[in-house]
Structure 1
């Protein structure tokens, strides 16, 4: 039975860095790093998002950090299970602050409140000899930021929603506890529960919504997530399609 592994004394706090994921990768390249090590940056100048996008964060207002894991028992073909567990841990945290009916996972790994993005996740796995040697889980949460640049389509923050400023370190500790609970379930092979819970917390699950699929606007319903993390949708003509990460764009009409 796998037990707790994240603690406050494993937090490496940086005033600034280009990217906490890059900092974590450099650590792993140069020495053995304990599972549950956290790289937390007050300022991050080149934060990474999904599909090569950048992550915008006002210095000191939000949380940008990376968590180092060693999920060696997780088969690389099932690595999206880690994505599911982390996403569920993040929304578990938000549900302690916000009406839980509003908090959803936007596939593959953004967290939304209503139709607004409040957090993003980027997981980078190092696979060697059919084993996941290490995973760097980069997470960005909008906590206290009030103003965002115009090129971000639909951002929000906890302060905008709640109307009060939060202590970022307290948020980090609460969030890590929720993430750890989900990772322990994964490590203890509670796979069925994770799969069901992920679907039940998925944005637009089993409801029709508009998407751009390879440049074509379609109306479709999310049916499931494949073993490899593909989004399985059913178009309004009943055609079923499996979509990879870069093939489909959500439209929030």
Structure 2
């Protein structure tokens, strides 16, 4: 695709809107999705909307950054500092980003049954999924695995958070929960559990046995996805929770 051409000069089969209707949004390049939001082009060299979208991504991706990662928390001024992006284009992009976040952060209804890692991740997404700092949170459940509430226990740096068993179980007992799911996020999007994650999980499972407050899972969230430590480790076999 020639990025200096106007969208109107492109064959219909190459125009972003027409391609979205034909092949679906998930099959469009990121620059094409941005072009639909931008509506028109310009910027350096009078770029097309697709070209401007590509230029925005290149600008945000400077210094070996992931442009989509930057977009998740970009400010209006950062966008408007890019040649060719004014208030109208910046607000269209920011509105789309926020809408996408809210779609991923749909919370289950109060007292909803938490019967799978996916449902648990959905309940925790608002607090954990798109945060720039690591957070440790607890999903509080009753004896039928129905949702009582969620609670962020600690907030750390961009790469590390700390949670003490005392703080976690104090909140569980205070709210009258009888079961829990623990979770934290990896802002990098890498869902591989660290050695520290596994050690902490082991400590918490041991404490849960003593307190008779079963931990059903430990989830790691990030970048729109999640991992279940119960599914990828043998910790629950080694430390049964008497569910």
Normalising by structure 2, we get a TM-score of 0.25
Q: Which protein is bigger by CA-based radius of gyration?
A: 2
Normalising by structure 1, we get a TM-score of 0.24
Higher helix share: 2
Structure of greater relative contact order (alpha carbons < 8 Å, 6+ residues apart): 1
Higher strand share: 1
